[in-house]
Chains A and B, each alone.
Chain A
Amino acid sequence: MKKFLIIVIGLWLVGCSYQEGLEVSGSTSVAPVMEKLISDYQSNHVANINLTADGSSAGISAALEGVSDIGMSSRALSKDEFNNDIDVNIIGIDAIVVVLNKDNKITNLSIQDLHDIYCGKKNNWQDFGGENIPIVLVSRENGSGTRDAFEDSIKAKDANKASYVDLYNPVIVNSTGAVIENVKQKKGAIGYMSMGSVIQDIKAISLNNYQANKSNVIKKLYPISREFYVISKKNNIKAKTFINYILNEDGQHIIENEGFIRVK
């Protein structure tokens, strides 16, 4: 019993000594890959890292105010947000891929086509040289980083940044898995997701005649892509060590494994 108590107290003390942890917060799109990076980092280093997914803007302001050690963002910083005290690093690149049902004969759409589809201007695959089947829109929910980036790229928002996709009877789902399921089941469906999430049962199409592959995305030929950023204070050494790990071979390997494009 005594031995047991000593062990418990010992473990508790060990736990206490690492309370000084690293706070990482921000983009919900970066968070899943960050989670993988953290768990890999923790398997080799003793570190207490807390991850919060609360959106790019929240992550950037938390990093600027010093509330978080590292802020994650899936959009570039605006001029107002940037200052000389902070480091901004790109850790990976994501492309958003448009997916169709396997039976759909269409293999390419332009950004203008996507705009027309998601803004209710065209609603039959016939308009794009396909079969006479009405289009079923599959969309992510409000607040999703993927939806935000996709709708920005195809200009599906008004001046107030409000999206009107809801007006055209979409199926709104809150996970990539549910997008896949809907596109798989419905022959008229169109959906979008991170390039890392595409699976065999659905068809990823090219946009503006460019496939979503590494070289097209890096050359910016593929039209819908976004960089993943991490933001930290220049004098924060703890944060710097972790960011260096992400930018080195081990971290970049994980980013590639998760289906994103490495930067180094």
Chain B
Amino acid sequence: MKKYLNKQLFFETLYKLSIIFASLLLLLIIIFIFFEGVPALKEYGVFKMLFNMSWQPTAHEPSFGLSKMILATIISTLLSLLIAIPIGLLSSVCLVRLVSRKIKNIIMFIVEILAGIPSVIVGFFVLKTIVAFLYQHFYMNIGVSGNSMLAAVFVLALMALPTIITITVKALEAVNPMYTEASLGLGANKIQTIYKVELKAAKSGIMAAIVLGAGRVIGETMAVMLVSGNAINISSNLLLPTRTLTANIATEMSYASGLHQSALYASGIVLFIMIMLINITLLIILNKGGGDNA
């Protein structure tokens, strides 16, 4: 009996230590980026950093305005979701209700592989196809190099799609079959049932899918950096280059020193806060939807 208790205690401690280790790691990362980023925020000013348009980190009188990059991050995320959400939702509905189980399994397998492809490879693919296509067709316009907001949006949509599909499929599968049967029994046809009953019942799961997709998109770095052109620029012309917060860090980190380096960590802090906001939204959605089926 004593031996059993000892064993029990040992494994309980092991589990507790693991969870402490995992949360400590997150805490360490947070402390680290704040420790590195705060000098620039202090020296240059939080307000100026968030709203100034000019990023001149190596000038004599340097300026570290992140506003264009914050905007670029938000716009590229929204536009890519605008592509990924309809495609993701329609294909999820199709997978769950309109095709046979066998085909669904094959396609889900493919989607999961797509989710696992390293982002740098997706970026390289888009660089060689879409960026090259855009340059070939629009090179007569001044400033067009193919590397552009549009290409970045394509990459991000491609990255968000698998996340959105897998989670939406799970949400749709979790819909109580009684709802479906009742709807069909009342004389509604298949499509009516899907749109009027099932999608509504799975609403919170679908919202979670979208928010998780957004989280993936905001944090994406390598692929975006390859195709976006990285000029600090925000324009209504989607064929012109742009730079997101993540790309800003990755592009300039290698040779940055002093306050410039600190300002890059500060971009990390801004990004961190944006992702926190997304996660909080996710928590609220999931709590609200807790009583439903998803």
Contacts and interface: CB of A to CB of B under 8 A. Distances in A.
Interface in B55-113: 55-61, 63
Contact of B251 (A163, A174, A186, A189): A174
Interface in B128-187: 132, 135, 139-147
A166 B233 contact: yes
B241 interface: yes
Contacts of B146: 186
Contacts, number: 108
Nearest to B254: A174
Report, as a range, how many residues of chain A touch the other chain. Answer: 35 or more
B139 A171 contact: no
A105 B142 CA distance: 19
A55 B230 contact: no
Given A142-B252, A142-B260, A143-B256, A186 B139 contact: yes
B33 interface: no
Interface residues of B, number: 37
Contact of A170 (B141, B231, B251): B231
B271 interface: no
Given A134-B144, A143-B260, A188-B139, A170 B56 contact: no
B229 A172 contact: yes
Contacts of B145: 136, 169, 171, 182, 186, 189
Contacts of A55: 255, 257
Given A134-B141, A186-B139, A28 B56 contact: no
Given A141-B251, A162-B56, A174-B254, 7 more contacts: A28-B255, A58-B258, A134-B140, A134-B143, A143-B254, A161-B59, A185-B135
9 closest residue pairs by CB, A with B: A169-B143, A162-B59, A143-B255, A172-B230, A162-B56, A136-B145, A54-B257, A161-B60, A134-B142
